[in-house]
Structure 1
Amino acid sequence: MTAESALRSANDAEAPAVSLIDRIFPVNRDLAAKSMFGIWGAYFLFVSSRFLYVTQTNADALFVQRILMTSICIFFTWMLYRMLVVVRGSGMGAAIFVLFLPTMIFANLIAILDQIVFDHDAALFDFTYLFALPDFASFDWAYALDEAFTRYFILASWGALYLAFAHSQDVQRMTAQSRQMELVNRESELRALRYQLNPHFVFNALNSVSSLIIDRENEQAEKLVDDLADYMRAVLTGGAQDMIAVEEEIAQQVRYLEIERMRFPERLHYIVDIEPGAIGWSIPALIIQPLIENAVKYGMSGTDQPVKIIISVKIEEDRLRISVTNDGRVKNLSGDSRDQASGTGTGLTNIQDRLRVLYGQNASFLLANNKDGMATATIVLPDSSLIFQDI
């Protein structure tokens, strides 16, 4: 055995066996089989119901003959189905052609076979006449023409309905695949944003350690490194989940503020106000981390006075409102999401991108200067049930 034949044999062995029913109905099996047997089954029941109001001789043999003709009709309908499968994807013109000429031929063949089957008073289960040469001279061609029109109408109607339902199934399948692909893309984008946020936090945290080392505050620097290690372990491992309870997120940020207070023990003060009704509300993990970092960074810069940071979480109607307020003014309210003139813009842009990916247009992020001379950053979130829904 050559290598090529061995490889072919291995591929044949690995290929899944195709069942007989899949060979008979390779496309839209359930739709084709159910509609095919359904329409001719209904026709069979309708025709067979004649015995209720028409006296028939040799009724048993007629019943068997109707079963035979119904089977013939199902066979030709299956032939039409296979032709429609062949021209699938070739455009509407090819489908119309199949529903016109081949279907007309099938209808006439069914009408001729109908004459052959029912033009004999055969005994029950006697089909010997089917193997004899038909006497076309004795045919009732007017009846055959009427029968051909009826069968053509049934076949063409079935074909048109099959194409319509098959197209509808294809559209639904493509829509489901498109939604699944959109979900995968959004989750990938969200994951990328999370990975972008982690280095952003590490960069700012290491700056805090560097400041203490430069100031030769070795004990505080050592304690800060330990606290940062614990904090980063909690944030970067436990925070890998997409959503987190708002109180857990605030607790992590309070831990961060406690670390920063080691640098500014006399100057940094903070207040946390969580409305009881907001407890348990799910929010994106680390969503307010850049706000806390900016509040510390820009609140402390340019002044040697005490700085106050206020974290507020409230329910307003059916939405969660998270505000981070600090002493200072926002210099840039133009909407381009840059942190400040000296910043990289990573933090606030990251917040906006994550909100867009998670909630579409259902969440908002605002920057403002309030009348008390403080800068306020606000995130407004809907219920977590609206994640991945756009308006």
Structure 2
Amino acid sequence: MISDVASSREGITSRTAILSILGFWAFHFVIVTLRAAVLGFDDQLEMLVRRAVVTLVSIGITMVVWLLLRRVHGAPLSRRVAAAALLAVPASIVYSAVNYYVFYDFGLPKSVVIANKADEKTLTVQVDMTHADEKSPVMAIADNAANGYFFFAAWAALFLALTYAAETGHAERRVARFRAAAQSAELRALRYQVNPHFLFNTLNSLSSLIMTDRRDAAEAMVMNLSTFFRTSLTGDPTEDMRLSDELRLQRLYLDIETVRFPERMLVDIAVPDALMDACVPGLILQPLIENAIKYGVSPARRVVRISVRARESEGRLVLAVEDDGDDKPTGATIGEPGVTNGIGLRNVRERLAARFGDAADAAWGRRPGGGWAVVLTMPLVRNGC
């Protein structure tokens, strides 16, 4: 939690910034030391100590630069780059002055000489001030500050790159959290879209049972309705449920509707026992069965069969809800892109897309033998609900 807060405020945590400083100057220290050893300078131990002093001071200077750069965190990148470029100027001057004092003014070992005249200028900057008598202290410090500026500018570039990467990662995580929250809200909204006609029709049927003094049937209907709504509204809409539990809920719903259409509706549920533990989005079958009753059973003047089927195909779960009622006035043959003005089927397709992405699909249309069918295909998931 603290690390996240620091990341959002500073771009990178203080720990990361400090480690970048220590790592940068440790690398510089090692490279310069190896260079001196390869060139065969004398008094390596004493020079190592002086170099370590300069490195420690350089770390302190860079710490100050970092603390000042933190003040412009959140500013446009161009402003931060300009701030880093400007801060590197005084930092390089202080670094060069310290380097001059440690390697020359403090007393340079007489045995340290430059073996290769061609490298005299470079080695004077990096290692010693043997020929400082040829330049004034100001000129020597200014000459060395040019190289020092490169060091601090290089670290500042590294710091800005790390900060930008951290900011980008933080923004991506925020977007991911918002996307997950939006998806959860979408799933909840889709799950809670209970058709009000179902409730109104059920209450009308219940009223009819009471008026005709069919108390036992009315009581059973009230208990089924209560169980259905309690289960459907209290479950987490973002979680899956076992197919067996989904079918139990749909049987409750069908029992309620059977009271309305006792002579016109037959129900056939055929699901293999091996698929009962498959995980499906909760109430994913509800809109399909509701549509079958609304468009197949309700307008019919004959018995209409509603079938619920499930099968496994190539590691995927296939669910189908069919009715043999009259053909819908608009629609495509099953397997083609369906044409519908209702929200129920779109609701199902959107829920599948939110849950499984492109791995799931919903197709609907007229059956070859008449009636209407909806087929859902999704990954077969077990023991995950």
| TM-score above 0.5 | yes
Q: Which stretch shifts more, 178-187 or 314-323?
A: 314-323
1:210/1:34 Cα in 2 relative to 1: closer, same or farther (>3 Å)?
A: same
**Pick from 47, 51, 54: which aligns with 2:40?**
54
1:92/1:173 Cα in 2 relative to 1: closer, same or farther (>3 Å)?
A: closer
Shift of 1:171: 0.2
Does structure 1 retain, via aligned residues, the 8 Å contact 2:12–2:163?
no
Aligned-partner Cα distance in 2 for 1:27–1:255: 55
Does structure 2 retain, via aligned residues, the 8 Å contact 1:200–1:347?
no
Does structure 1 retain, via aligned residues, the 8 Å contact 2:11–2:163?
no
Shift of 1:99: 3.8
Q: Within 5 A, what are the aligned runs for 1:350-389? A: 350-382=347-379
1:64/1:145 Cα in 2 relative to 1: closer, same or farther (>3 Å)?
A: same
Shift of 1:232: 3.6
Q: Secondary structure of the equivalent of 1:330? A: coil
Asked if 1:195 is matched to 2:181, the reply is: no
Aligned-partner Cα distance in 1 for 2:282–2:232: 9
Aligned-partner Cα distance in 1 for 2:78–2:154: 17
Aligned-partner Cα distance in 1 for 2:45–2:97: 22
Q: Within 5 A, what are the aligned runs for 1:72-91? A: 72-91=57-76
Q: Specify the alignment match of 2:330 in structure 1.
A: 332
Does structure 1 retain, via aligned residues, the 8 Å contact 2:11–2:164?
no
Q: Specify the alignment match of 1:100 in structure 2.
A: 85
Amino acid at match of 2:99: D
Amino acid at match of 1:351: V
Q: Secondary structure of the equivalent of 2:320? A: strand
Asked if 1:70 is matched to 2:55, the reply is: yes
Aligned-partner Cα distance in 1 for 2:156–2:238: 51
Q: Which stretch shifts more, 367-376 or 91-100?
A: 91-100
Asked if 1:290 is matched to 2:287, the reply is: yes
Point out where structure 1 has 5 or more consecutive residues left out of the alignment: 1-15, 124-134, 339-344
Point out where structure 2 has 5 or more consecutive residues left out of the alignment: 110-131, 333-337
Q: Which stretch shifts more, 211-220 or 364-373?
A: 211-220
Asked if 1:118 is matched to 2:103, the reply is: yes
Shift of 1:207: 4.0
Q: Within 5 A, what are the aligned runs for 1:194-213? A: 194-197=191-194, 201-213=198-210
1:95/1:295 Cα in 2 relative to 1: closer, same or farther (>3 Å)?
A: closer
Q: Specify the alignment match of 1:170 in structure 2.
A: 167
Shift of 1:323: 1.0
Does structure 1 retain, via aligned residues, the 8 Å contact 2:192–2:233?
no
Aligned-partner Cα distance in 1 for 2:324–2:209: 23
Amino acid at match of 1:314: R
1:252/1:100 Cα in 2 relative to 1: closer, same or farther (>3 Å)?
A: closer
Give the aligned length.
347
Does structure 2 retain, via aligned residues, the 8 Å contact 1:309–1:327?
yes
Q: Which stretch shifts more, 180-189 or 258-267?
A: 258-267
Q: Specify the alignment match of 2:119 in structure 1.
A: none
Q: Specify the alignment match of 2:218 in structure 1.
A: 221
Amino acid at match of 1:150: N
Does structure 1 retain, via aligned residues, the 8 Å contact 2:187–2:238?
no
Does structure 2 retain, via aligned residues, the 8 Å contact 1:115–1:139?
no
Aligned-partner Cα distance in 2 for 1:211–1:168: 67
Q: CA RMSD in A?
A: 3.6
Q: Secondary structure of the equivalent of 1:76? A: helix
Over the matched positions of the two proteins, sequence identity in percent amounts to 29
Q: Secondary structure of the equivalent of 2:330? A: coil
Asked if 1:304 is matched to 2:289, the reply is: no
Asked if 1:42 is matched to 2:39, the reply is: no
Q: TM-score, normalised by structure 1?
A: 0.75
Q: Secondary structure of the equivalent of 1:66? A: helix
